[in-house]
Chains A and B, each alone.
Chain A
Amino acid sequence: MRELWQFTKLIRSKNAGPFELTFDIMFKDEDCFRKVMASGKLSAELIARLYKVDLKQVRYFVIEPLLTIKISIPRPVFSGDVNDTDVYGGQFHGPLVSLKIEPS
């Protein structure tokens, strides 16, 4: 069973301003891109569940020419708030890296 990072050349999260978080998943090649897309594992539903936001707050972009998926959500805790844990928002993507992908 392969993990998401094995299909990608980049997985990252970052603030898009202090109130939103954006994830970029850039695939190594078209074959990797198609396999992960076909598996259905990297879904808006997964993001909504993992990051505890409403499904309708998940913005999901498939940018085929760049073999990239971008997903943006409101930050559950705003950057720098007293109970924030990650001011830059750069380490929220951790759980996605080891996401199990079943190629179909």
Chain B
Amino acid sequence: MKKIKAVAATGNLSSGFREETLVHAVAQGAHFIGCDAGTTDSGPYYLGSGYPRGPREGTKRNLRIMIREGLKAGIPVIVGSAGHAGGKPHLDWTLEIVRELARENNWHFKLAGIDCEIPKETLAGEFLAGRIAPLCPAPALDETSIRQSARFVAMMGIEPIQAALKSGAQVIVAGRCSDVAIYAALPVMEGIPKHVAFHAGKILECGSAAVAQRYYPDCMAAEMDQQGFTIEPPNPAFRCTPQSVASHSLYENADPYRLVESGGTADTTNAKYEAISDRAVRVTGANFIPAEKYTVKLEGAALAGYRSIVVAGIRDPLVIRQLDAFLSGLRTVLEQKIADSLKLTRDAYTLQFRVYGSSGSMGQLEPCPQVEGHEVGLIIDVVAPTQALAADILPIVWHTGLHHPIPEYEGLISSFAFPFSPPGADMGPVYRFCANHVWHLNDPCGPFRMVLENL
């Protein structure tokens, strides 16, 4: 019976792995090398702006080793969610690195790029046709807000990757992609059952994170067969235990048992994790429930404004002990000043005081906002429709705040300790995630555009 061995280079293409581990893993007999390059964890900025998350040199080093080993062994290399957010600019950034590597090393191979950025007009039409539905919770989305957004991507399942494999591509770089699909596409094509391939993919996608003690990021390998899979780290310094593997499936998942993917759900409620050596674990017992409708997840980002910030310390205990009143009094003064000098009403911008030492990390949810220490860190956060406006509001805010009086003192005071000159900084555009929706497709490959190049 056919066994398929998958190697994950690491958990994210921008983090590292040991070269000797990947070489060893491939030499042990792999059918493909995969790597997840993206996540929504760092927020909407990358999707909204089109900027990839680097570092470029680190990403290039990783791709160099992966492609070199893949070509040497004659096995495909599959990268998903390119450039962190998986949109067209992110995909192009990654493809350019691959072309550079091919030129520099005199490599010749077939490269597939799979674009999953969706034009807003297309999505607006699909929305009106009733083919887009919200998940729970989801931001409000309609055809107007779709048109006003910055960028949308559809998260591909296994099918577009399978199409690239069938076209003979040796290196596949995909835009936004299910983490699981990177690792399940080839095995399913080769006859591995979906409940095995999807479960294995979920554990592989974080690289060496599923080991008992992860000293540094590194590779992971899983061999899949008809009944289940065996997971064993290729680095001899690491080991997987039933505990470490099962516990890892909890990470970043809202539901520990249901893995919802395009085309169906892998249910791991009855999965068994058995140690077959002191470092390898045999996993069986997942179940696959096909979906009634084939849907792909939609991610979108919309511009929310432009941000400027000021960082300041406050050390005077008399200011600190009345800080709430100080800041709310300051806000009242500021609203008037900003209205007078810039002709802006309160709802034309946002002004937030983030008080570290009180409730900076948890905001409104902080159960114990009373300041216990002798100082607080204040970030004044202004978001306005343009950067120029935010930059104009900011000096009014920090200069007024600096000299805002307290009743205990007579004379002019300076209550903010700015670490920097200038005290403020422009942070650039601020985006928000504007979609958490699914899109019903008749063809799983339909919206995804593959371009093949012979390098």
A residues engaging B (CB < 8 A)? 14-20, 22, 24, 26, 50-52, 59, 61, 63, 65-66, 68, 70, 72, 74-88, 91-92, 94-95
Contacts and interface: CB of A to CB of B under 8 A. Distances in A.
A24 B41 contact: no
A22 to B, nearest CB: 5
A44 to B, nearest CB: 14
A92 B139 contact: no
A16 B253 contact: yes
A18 B136 contact: no
Given A66-B243, A80-B45, A85 B254 contact: no
A82 B430 contact: yes
Given A20-B137, A79-B433, 20 more contacts: A16-B253, A18-B40, A19-B137, A19-B433, A22-B253, A50-B365, A61-B257, A70-B250, A74-B137, A78-B139, A79-B41, A79-B44, A80-B43, A81-B433, A82-B304, A84-B43, A86-B362, A87-B43, A91-B362, A94-B362
Interface string B243-257: 100110011111111
A63 B40 CA distance: 27
Contacts of B246: 65-66
A26 B361 contact: no
A63 B250 contact: yes
B138 interface: yes
B385 interface: no
B278 to A, nearest CB: 19
B43 A79 contact: yes
B250 A92 contact: no
A41 to B, nearest CB: 15
Contacts of B40: 15, 17-18, 79
B contact face: mostly helix, strand, loop, or mixed: loop
Contacts of A72: 254-255
Contacts of A61: 255-257
Contacts, number: 111
B368 interface: yes
B31 interface: no
A85 B360 contact: yes
B250 A81 contact: no
B168 interface: no
B291 to A, nearest CB: 18
Interface in B24-47: 40-45
Given A77-B363, A82-B304, A85-B360, A18 B253 contact: no
Contact of A95 (B45, B367, B432): B367
Interface in B114-166: 135-139
B277 interface: no
Among A65, A78, A84, A86, max chain B CB count under 10 A is at A78
B431 interface: yes
A94 B23 CA distance: 41
Nearest to A95: B367
A59 B255 contact: yes
Top-5 shortest CB links A-B: A80-B43, A16-B254, A72-B254, A85-B363, A80-B44
B383 interface: yes
